[in-house]
Amino acid sequence: MRFVDAHTHLELFAFRDVPLEKARSVEDVRNMILSLPKEVVLGWGWREESLGTSLEREHLEDIPKAVLLLRMDAHVGVVNGRLIDTIGLEKSDKFDPERGYLYEEELWRVASLLKPKGNDMAKAIMKGLREAASMGVVEIHDFVDGDLAEVYAGLEDIPVSVVLMPYYEDHERVVDVVRRSKRFRLGWVKIFVDGSIGARTAYLKEPYEDTSSRGLLLKNYREIASAVEELESKGLRVALHAIGDGAVEECLRAFEVVRPKLPYHRIEHAELITRDQALRAKELRLLLCMQPNFTPFFRETYLKALGRERGSRINPIGMLDELGVDMIFGSDMMPFDPMYGFNYAKSILGERKAKYYYGGWRDEGRYL
């Protein structure tokens, strides 16, 4: 099999001081951190399903190191008091000091203050690229800021083909690096429209099953529309992170206002897209980047957060295929092994179509 993984964050390989994905209890997490000879511990990959509980500040408070542990979806992370003091974090709607929870932009701000730079980051990225190649991945679409694009530009012997996906805030720097280095293809520019279901920040039309909230809308349709216009004027396309049906609605409204000239602007995830929204996406010539792996991986989270009805129509790759909406698949590294999602996609779409979408339409020309 030759896979195209159209949605990766290889910089998360730099947040692997401890193998959190292997922890089966809070005690495991604590032991991993305590046995590590480091003053600042960065981890990524915990989730309630494997720990049997959520991970909270109180579980980490007596550990004499500064700790930041990102949940697997990287939309929420937990910190302890020592880290709060080191950085000087203040309570806000994106930081809950009681639980030690950082959300969305505030989490990314803190994570980028702490993440390794230069050579250490280069090593982490190479590790990710080699792991991808060893699993049959031939091309990745990786999200980067300007610093990370510079790290890529300095790498040698890259084992897979790389499409760099700039974050909107930093896209000009990334475009510049790609044009100078001439070794990478430039992908879509990423804008976050909402958060994630696990963190209850994906923006829904109706409230979550277990809270009265509908999640967080990070950009409304007017803001999205003006970003799309700006990017199109530079010949660039957008990748909108939109998980909830409410967020997908904002994206579609934005495109309906702008009427994009370029085909294949992307929506990332579109986990709760409805049939009606899917038809509008098709009409707008959008490309949906779906994660079939999420359905089996987050089954319990979906049921708890969304209830049975919404939980059962999540990541609707069968419906999208039937309607003829253009899709590509990407792991979002949950988990990274493409066979996991491929096997699920095969059970819904059959082997031939699963290969087609996971192969980035290799038999049939390109979307880039």
**Contact (Cβ atoms closer than 8 angstroms) between residue 166 and residue 149:** yes
Please identify, using beta-carbon distances, which residue of 280 and 329 lies nearer to Zn ion. Answer: 329
Question: At 324, is the secondary structure helix, strand, or coil?
Answer: coil
Distance of CA 253 to the CA centre of its chain: 23
| Closest approach of Zn ion to the CB of residue 333, in Å | 8
Q: Give Cα 44 distance to the centre of its chain.
A: 13
Q: Please, what is the minimum distance in Å from the beta carbon of residue 18 to Zn ion? A: 21
- How far apart, in whole angstroms, are the C-alpha atoms of residue 150 and residue 147? 5
- Minimum distance from CB of 207 to Zn ion (Å)? 24
Tokens 């049959």 sit on residue: 136
Our CB check for Zn ion shows the closer of 26 and 110 to be 110
For Zn ion, the closer of residues 10 and 89 by Cβ is: 10
Report how far Cα 214 is from the mean position of its chain's Cα atoms.
20
* Cα–Cα distance measured from residue 252 to residue 267, given in angstroms and rounded to the nearest whole number: 10
Q: How far apart are CB 7 and Zn ion at their closest, in Å?
A: 6
Comparison of 26 and 102: residue with beta carbon closer to Zn ion:
102
> Where along the sequence are the contacts to Zn ion (CB under 5 A)?
332
Whole-angstrom CA distances from 234 to 14, 119, 143 are 32, 32, 19
Chain residue whose CB lies nearest Zn ion: 332
Please say which residue, 79 or 165, places its beta carbon nearer to Zn ion. Answer: 165
Q: Are 261 and 228 in contact (CB under 8 A)?
A: no
Task: Select 141 or 200, whichever has its Cβ closest to Zn ion.
Answer: 141
Cα–Cα distance between 75 and 77 in angstroms, integer?
A: 7
Report which DSSP code applies to 30.
H
DSSP code per residue over 178-241: HHHH-SSEE-PEEEES---TTTT-S--SS--SSSS-----SS-HHHHHHHHHHHHHTT--EEEE
Q: Between 24 and 109, whose beta carbon lies closer to Zn ion?
A: 109
Least distance CB 8 / Zn ion (angstroms): 8
